[in-house]
Structure 1
Amino acid sequence: MNNVVCFVLGGGKGTRLQPLTSERSKPAVPIGGKYRLIDIPISNCINSGIRRNYLLTQFNSVSLHRHLRQTYNFDPFNGGFVEILAAQQTNNDGADWYQGTADAVRKQLRYIQQPGIDYVLILSGDQLYRMDFAKMLKVHQGAQADVTIATLPIDKEAASAFGITKLDDSGRVVGFLEKPESDSELAHVRTSPEWIDEQGIESKGREYLASMGIYLFNRSTLVDLLEKTDYQDFGKEIFPAAIRAKHVQSFLFDGYWEDIGTIKAFYESQLEMTLPNPPFEMHNADLPIYTRPRFLPSTRLDDAKVKQSLIADGCVIEKNVSITRSLIGLRSHVGEGAVLSGVVLMGADYYRSDRRANQEVSGDPLLGIGAGTHIEGAIVDKNCCIGKNVKIVKPANCPDDARCGDVIIRDGVIVVPRGTVLEDGWELKNPEACDF
Structure 2
Amino acid sequence: MKLKPKVLAMILAGGRVDELNVLTAYRPKSAVPFGGFARVIDFALSNLMHSGLERVAILSQYRSFSLINHIGVGAAWDMTGRYRGVSILPPSQGSGQSSWYRGSADAIHQNLDFIQYHDPETILVLSGDHVYQMDYREILQYHREKDADLTIACLQVPMPEASRFGVAEIDDEDGERGGRILQYQEKPVDPKFNWASLTVYCFRPSVLYEVLEANAREDDSFEFGRDILPRIMASQRRVFGFKFRGYWGYTRTVDEYWQTNMDLLGPEPKIRLADWGIRTNLEHRSVRDCQPLKVGTGASIENSLVYNGCVVEGRVENSILFPGVHVKSGAEVKNSVLFYDNVVGHGAILDTVVSDVNVTFGARVRVGGAAGVPQGEKVTVIGWNNHLLDGMVIGSGCTLHPNLRPEQMVGEIGNGEVVR
TM-score by length of 2: 0.86
| Distance (whole Å) between structure 1 residues aligned to residue 232 and residue 419 of structure 2 | 39
Shift in alpha-carbon separation, 1:411–1:118, aligned structure 2, 3 A: farther
Counterpart position of 1:289: 278
SS in 2 for 1:418: coil
Identity %: 31
Shift in alpha-carbon separation, 1:225–1:75, aligned structure 2, 3 A: closer
- How far apart are residue 155 of structure 1 and its match? 2.4
Deviates more, 1:303-312 or 1:131-140: 303-312
Deviates more, 1:337-346 or 1:166-175: 166-175
Counterpart position of 2:340: 347
Q: Within 5 A, what are the aligned runs for 1:154-165?
A: 154-165=157-168
- How far apart are residue 227 of structure 1 and its match? 2.0
- How far apart are residue 180 of structure 1 and its match? 3.5
On the 8 A contact 2:166/2:185 being kept in 1, the answer is: yes
Unaligned 5+ residue runs, structure 1? 190-207, 349-366, 401-409
Residue of 234, 251, 274 corresponding to 2:242: 251
On the 8 A contact 1:263/1:411 being kept in 2, the answer is: no
Shift in alpha-carbon separation, 1:263–1:397, aligned structure 2, 3 A: same
Instruction: In structure 2, give the amino acid aligned to 1:290.
Output: R
Deviates more, 1:154-163 or 1:144-153: 154-163
| Distance (whole Å) between structure 1 residues aligned to residue 373 and residue 417 of structure 2 | 10
| Distance (whole Å) between structure 1 residues aligned to residue 352 and residue 170 of structure 2 | 41
Alignment RMSD (CA, Å): 2.1
Counterpart position of 2:404: none
Residue of 260, 265, 289 corresponding to 2:256: 265
On the 8 A contact 2:306/2:320 being kept in 1, the answer is: yes
On the 8 A contact 1:399/1:433 being kept in 2, the answer is: no
Counterpart position of 1:300: 294
Q: Deviations over 1:56-91 (max 9, x none)?
A: 111121111111116536475463211110111022
Counterpart position of 2:232: 242
SS in 1 for 2:185: strand
Counterpart position of 2:402: none
Q: Does 1:325 align with 2:333?
A: no
- How far apart are residue 433 of structure 1 and its match? 4.3
| Distance (whole Å) between structure 1 residues aligned to residue 337 and residue 267 of structure 2 | 17
SS in 1 for 2:274: coil
Runs in 1 of length 4+ with deviation above 6 angstroms? 397-400
- How far apart are residue 393 of structure 1 and its match? 2.5
| Distance (whole Å) between structure 1 residues aligned to residue 73 and residue 323 of structure 2 | 17
| Distance (whole Å) between structure 2 residues aligned to residue 142 and residue 75 of structure 1 | 28
Unaligned 5+ residue runs, structure 2? 174-178, 283-287, 395-411
Counterpart position of 2:348: 373
Counterpart position of 1:176: 184
| Distance (whole Å) between structure 1 residues aligned to residue 417 and residue 360 of structure 2 | 24
Deviates more, 1:287-296 or 1:211-220: 287-296
Shift in alpha-carbon separation, 1:71–1:141, aligned structure 2, 3 A: closer
Counterpart position of 1:389: 364
- How far apart are residue 43 of structure 1 and its match? 0.8
Instruction: In structure 1, give the amino acid aligned to 2:248.
Output: W
Q: Deviations over 1:230-269 (max 9, x none)?
A: 2511011101111222111111100011221000000011
| Distance (whole Å) between structure 1 residues aligned to residue 88 and residue 118 of structure 2 | 19
On the 8 A contact 2:74/2:86 being kept in 1, the answer is: no
Aligned pair count reads 382
Counterpart position of 2:309: 314
Counterpart position of 1:218: 204
On the 8 A contact 1:343/1:377 being kept in 2, the answer is: yes
| Distance (whole Å) between structure 1 residues aligned to residue 296 and residue 339 of structure 2 | 20
